[in-house]
Chain A
Amino acid sequence: MSNQKKRNFQIEAFKHRVVVDPKYAEKTWSILEHAIHEIYNHNASGLSFEELYRNAYNMVLHKFGEKLYSGLVATMTAHLKEISKSIEAAQGDLFLEELNRKWNDHNKALQMIRDILMYMDRTYIPNTHKTPVHELGLNLWRDNVIHSSKIQSRLLSMLLELVHRERTGEVIDRGLMRNIIKMLMDLGSSVYQEDFEKPFLEVSAEFYMGESQKFIECCDCGDYLKKAELRLNEEIERVTHYLDVKSEVKITNVVEKEMIANHMMRLVHMENSGLVNMLLDDKYEDLGRMYNLFRRVPNGLSTIRDVMTSHLREIGKQLVTDAEKLKDPVEFVQRLLDEKDKYDSIISQAFSNDKTFQNALNSSFEYFINLNNRSPEFISLFVDDKLRKGLKGVSEEDVEIILDKVMMLFRYLQEKDVFEKYYKQHLAKRLLSGKTVSDDAERSLIVKLKTECGYQFTSKLEGMFTDMKTSQDTMQGFYASHPELTDGPTLVVQVLTTGSWPTQPSITCNLPAETSALCEKFRSYYLGTHTGRRLSWQTNMGTADIKATFGKGQKHELNVSTYQMCVLMLFNNADRLSYKEVEQATGIPASDLKRCLQSMACVKGKNVLRKEPMSKDIGEDDAFFVNDKFTSKFYKVKIGTVVAQKESEPEKQETRQRVEEDRKPQIEAAIKRIESLIERDFLERDNNDRKLYRYLA
């Protein structure tokens, strides 16, 4: 170092350090080499950092960087070869521990060496594009230790051995594993992959192939899936504890492929324990597990979905074609709802509300509900039953729930217009006989139908409700303007607007005198306020309450149909009447008359009439008498309420025919619209498939 400067400044010639000693480089290097030795021998405390740093600094400064660098490489290599031997010498399980220890030592030494050679790292190395010290140290470790022939394969097999042991239930030293694996990762991702990950995945595949084979022979589906899940979780946990996080997806793929994908079909179709059995037994946990496992493999979920769909269609088909079940429409619909509830539950609890499964469920229901062309009628009957009595005492929310379920079935119907026809008929009967449990429930359902199908669908139904209300007001007006009638028989009229109500053949019968007089008064009153309208009495739909006194003086109030009233009133003027006489006097059509007489003469507890002969059926030659011996516990006796029944065959044909007729104008209108769209170039026909239309942009 130059001497102290004088106060006034002198410019001196630029001085290079002159290398006086030709062996300067040698000497300096050997100081450093010695230091490296000491460092590897854990003897650094005697060394002066400054001195070593300065020596390395000077070497680089004086253009001996090359010598320094190559010296470093040689020395380190030599040390690592020694270290390698000591690792090789370790016995059995101590091998990994020794490797780990030496690795830690090497890292520490490397850092110290880099610190003292920092100047070279900063200047010489970037200039010559050589590998920096730290990286160099890792590479030399990799080449001389990890890839040494005696260590490389032994290391791998030990690692795989430990993994295998852990898989068979042994506890291993996870910390040690983690360090070794981290070492491989530090040496570069290709080292990790080639020296460990690839073989690991191969060995794992073999292992799981064996496992799955073993299990599938002896386990049922549920147990197998439990085991598969366990193994999968185990592997994921293994990764978090001592493998590179990027390995997770690779090892899970292996397990998924070997344990699930390869055995998917066999599992799903396993006898007595497969998917169908799980569905039948509502095994939510097993099903959920299957869903979670299968979603990980290609086509897993679609396999489950397809099996579920075909099973459902099968069950559904059986349900709707089983003659036994079809005898009771309400029961039939209830079974459908139960089945839907069951699967809704399965999908929400086990299949995490998967939309595709919902869709499969919906399409299956749509398929089999429409296999039976009486479904629309039956659903309407179900609703009828509920609105007549089924919903009695049920809370408002529960009513909504049931109606919503019905709507859901309604949506599946293809022939919604058939439903509408029946619904109108059933509603009419309910309204006219006053037999509805809850007006709110009725209206609620109409609103739902309107939301679903539009105003057109429900306008007539709403018209029916309006008529009922209007009729009430009309009746009030009638009695208000005819105060003299309040002592006589009470008339209650419902005026039905023809278009809104189901068409009925209107055959009037002959009403008894008292009644017909009253009816005429009403007719004039009504037409007085509504000129231009026509009224016709629907005697097949009315009811009457009659007070009757029987032979022994027993009094009863009978609630009967209009027809029945006509028949009974005849007996005020005659003791005995033949069938033909009754028919003539009342003018009631034959089939109705027979039913009417049957309900009054042949039904236990309601036999206000006596018939000769006492046969079950009504014959044209029968004779009728008032049954003076009639008794009943109750004062008020209801006879033969007209309940909506399943249609008979001919009635069914008729309804269907009417539906077909109604469809014609709709279809024509639709055709016109399509033609118009084609003309205006919104649609075109597909060239190949005459049934296909395409939207044009």
Chain B
Amino acid sequence: MKRKDTVKLISADEMEFVIDKDAVMVSQTIRNLLTSPGGFAETKLGEVTFPEISAVILERICQYFYWALQYSRGKETEFHIEPELTLELMMAANYLHT
């Protein structure tokens, strides 16, 4: 059962990640999506599909969201990025404005 304050992110290979809203708002793009007036399709269903982001990347990104929340609360830890994921992760980050 989906709780009200979560959003479902779906990767290109149809993996679903259910993430808290606060975490997801770390991405400016997703934030705009959810707060844009007029109600795009995504807001009704509460889910966003990213046909150009793979599950591995998307998963890492979701972890990043939570890390960012923690970091902003003052916990200083490093977010480790596996080198082979770097490029795609950066591109996704650029895309998601995060």
**A contact residues vs B (CB 8 Å cutoff):** 1-2, 4-5, 9, 39, 42, 44-50, 53-54, 57, 108-109, 111-112, 115-116, 118-119, 122
Contacts and interface: CB of A to CB of B under 8 A. Distances in A.
Contacts of B32: 49, 115, 118
B56 to A, nearest CB: 7
Contact of A122 (B41, B49, B85, B97): B97
Contacts of B54: 1, 4
Contacts of B56: 4
B37 interface: yes
Given A57-B95, A115-B33, A118-B97, A49 B52 contact: no
Contacts of A9: 83-84
Given A1-B88, A119-B95, 6 more contacts: A2-B88, A42-B38, A44-B40, A49-B33, A108-B38, A118-B97
Given A108-B38, A115-B36, A118-B32, A54 B95 contact: yes
A54 to B, nearest CB: 7
A54 B43 CA distance: 17
Contacts of A54: 51-52, 95
A96 to B, nearest CB: 23
A46 B37 CA distance: 14
A4 B12 CA distance: 12
Contacts of B85: 5
Given A4-B56, A115-B32, A118-B29, A49 B41 contact: yes
Interface string B1-35: 00000000000100000000000000011001100
Contacts of B37: 108, 111-112
Contacts of A5: 84-85
9 contacts: A1-B54, A1-B88, A42-B38, A47-B40, A48-B42, A49-B33, A49-B40, A50-B49, A119-B95
B39 interface: yes
Interface residues of B, number: 28
Given A45-B41, A47-B41, A119 B97 contact: yes
Contacts of A109: 38
A44 B38 contact: yes
A49 B47 CA distance: 11
Contacts of A119: 95, 97
Q: Provide the main secondary structure of the chain A interface.
A: helix
Contacts of B49: 48, 50
A584 to B, nearest CB: 122
A5 B39 CA distance: 37
B20 to A, nearest CB: 19
A119 B52 CA distance: 16
Contacts of A115: 32-33, 36
A49 B84 contact: no
Most chain A CB atoms below 10 A, which of B28, B38, B48, B49: B38
A57 B41 CA distance: 19
Name the residue in A1, A39, A48, A57 with the highest tally of chain B Cβ atoms < 10 Å from its Cβ: A1
A112 B84 CA distance: 36
B62 interface: no
A50 B38 contact: no
B36 A49 contact: yes
B33 A53 contact: yes
Nearest to B55: A4
Contacts of B39: 44-45
Nearest to B48: A50
A1 B52 contact: yes
Nearest to B32: A115
B73 interface: no
B42 A50 contact: yes
